[in-house]
Amino acid sequence: MENPATPIVQPINPPPVAPPSDHWKIAFLILIIIILSVCLTAIFFLKFYPPPSPSPTSTPLTTTTPTTKPESTSTPILLSNPTPTPTPQSKASTTPFCDVSDNAFCSFIIDIKSSLASNNYSGFLNYQNISSTTCDPDGMFISVCEGVAKGVVKQGYSIGYNQSEGTMISKDEYLTTVGNYVKTNGPFIYQGSLVQENKGVAVFLNSNKDHILVFPAKRSGTSWKIDFLLVGGAFGDNSFVNLNNSLLDFVQ
């Protein structure tokens, strides 16, 4: 008998190699996502919650500030020491009665304002020079010479009328004339003054600024004197309102 056929042993083939898995790719992507998330979280946190590192630097700033303040305050004190020396003139220029730095002129203005306020026009005469004239009935009419013979010398106080002739009158006539003028056209308010070397002008105007009361003054020693008082209408001349330097031409 024939032996049964011996089974042919088939070689065992190795299992097919599995295709490369995508697990590593997925893991790598997850790792990248985690890293990006951490970075974004850190950036977000740093943006809204900055580290308190500036606080140490602010501390020395606050501590140094008091040290610099005494130095800064000491500087103006040293600089202001020379300032009080010219205060007599600066005070005079800031009073409501005076707007110039000449103390004698300020006293003049204050007295004139006081005389106006009290209707005591003798205060004007304290600053006005008495004038003299030789009377001539055939010449220009002068009030103080009325009824007086030719050649007689008379004294009085001069009043000038703006854009017109002036006259010389006695003390009594002066007080009456000025009083009536202020009563009719006043009250007169101090407009301001001009002072240039030995010339000065103090200007008073009524509320409508159409009538003037002007004191052209000259320096006389330590005081100021006027030769005449200027009154009358302003006639639209704004130099009295604006205090133009041309007003100093009244001072001769």
pLDDT, tens only, 157-203 = 999 999 998 999 999 999 999 999 999 999 999 999 999 999 999 99
- Report the pLDDT value the prediction gives residue 58, as an integer from 0 to 100: 43
Residue 12 lies in a domain: no
Residue 53 lies in a domain: no
Number of neighbours of residue 214 by Cβ within 10 angstroms: 23
Residue 130 lies in a domain: yes
Is a pLDDT exceeding 60 seen at residue 223?
Answer: yes
When computed from its CA atoms, the radius of gyration of the chain, rounded to whole angstroms, is: 51
With pLDDT > 90 as the criterion, what percentage of the chain qualifies? 57
Residue 52 lies in a domain: no
Is a pLDDT exceeding 50 seen at residue 90?
Answer: no
State the residue range of the domain holding 101.
96-250
Is a pLDDT exceeding 50 seen at residue 64?
Answer: no
H or E element that contains 71: helix 54-80
Round to whole Å and give the CA distance between 129 and 169.
13
Question: Checking DSSP bridges between strand 131-134 and strand 153-161, what pairing results, if any?
Answer: antiparallel
Domain count, the chain: 1
Residue 36 lies in a domain: no
Number of neighbours of residue 233 by Cβ within 10 angstroms: 14
Number of neighbours of residue 170 by Cβ within 10 angstroms: 16
What mean pLDDT comes out for the span 196-216?
A: 97
Which of 197, 216, 42, 55 is CA-nearest to residue 129?
A: 216
pLDDT, tens digit, for every residue of 93-150?
A: 445 557 898 999 999 999 999 999 999 999 999 999 999 999 998 888 899 999 999 9
Residue 142 lies in a domain: yes
Is a pLDDT exceeding 70 seen at residue 88?
Answer: no
Provide, for the chain, the percentages of residues in helix, strand and coil under a 3-state DSSP scheme, each rounded to the nearest 5: 45, 20, 35
Round to whole Å and give the CA distance between 148 and 170.
13
pTM of the predicted protein model = 0.62
Residue 42 lies in a domain: no
CA 154, 157, 163 angle in degrees (round to 5)?
115
CA quadruple 225, 214, 100, 122: dihedral positive or negative? positive
- Reported confidence tier of residue 36, pLDDT bands at 50, 70, 90: confident
**The two structure tokens encoding residue 137:** 């009935």
Round to whole Å and give the CA distance between 175 and 5.
172
Is 88 exposed, middle or buried (CB count within 10 Å of its CB: 0-12, 13-18, 19+)?
exposed
Residue 128 lies in a domain: yes
Question: Checking DSSP bridges between strand 153-161 and strand 228-233, what pairing results, if any?
Answer: parallel
CATH code for the domain of 185: 3.10.450.50
